[in-house]
Amino acid sequence: MVGSVPLVWVLTLAAGLFCIGLFGALSRRNIVGMLMGIELMLNSVNINLVAFWRYLQPTGTAGLIFAIFTIAVAAAEVAVGLAMVIAIYRARLTINADEIDTLKG
């Protein structure tokens, strides 16, 4: 393909984005920051799905369907996660993960 980005570059970008998301999810104390890290990891998976679809089977639609499914799962994860954050904040008045260590109300 003339003028296209090599697959290795796209995979390197996705791997870097996944590593940044993993670091953000594991190093943050704030629950919202953790959710943002998880979203970065899901977006890197989407980049991989679309890249492999584009380079291996550009006539098929399986990669795009999986990417759309992953976007829908990410949207549901954000909705449930933010609802949980709001409920925890109302009960504890904090969203710091270190202070939310018991299941007591």
Specify if 84 maps to a domain: yes
Specify if 63 maps to a domain: yes
Domain that residue 84 falls in: 7-93
Measured in whole angstroms, the distance separating CA 74 from the mean position of its chain's CA atoms is 7
Specify if 14 maps to a domain: yes
DSSP code for 6: P
What are the two backbone dihedrals, phi and then psi, of residue 96, each rounded to the nearest 5 degrees?
-80, 125
- pLDDT tens-place string over residues 18-73: 999 999 999 988 888 999 999 999 999 999 989 988 888 888 888 888 889 989 99
- Could you give the number of structural domains in the chain? 1
Q: Which residues contact 45 (CB under 8 A, 6 or more apart)?
A: 14, 18, 70
Specify if 101 maps to a domain: no
Q: 20: domain CATH number? A: 1.10.287.3510
- Whether 103 shows a pLDDT value over 70: the answer reads no
The structure's pTM equals: 0.82
Specify if 99 maps to a domain: no
Specify if 54 maps to a domain: yes
pLDDT, position 102: 66
Specify if 49 maps to a domain: yes
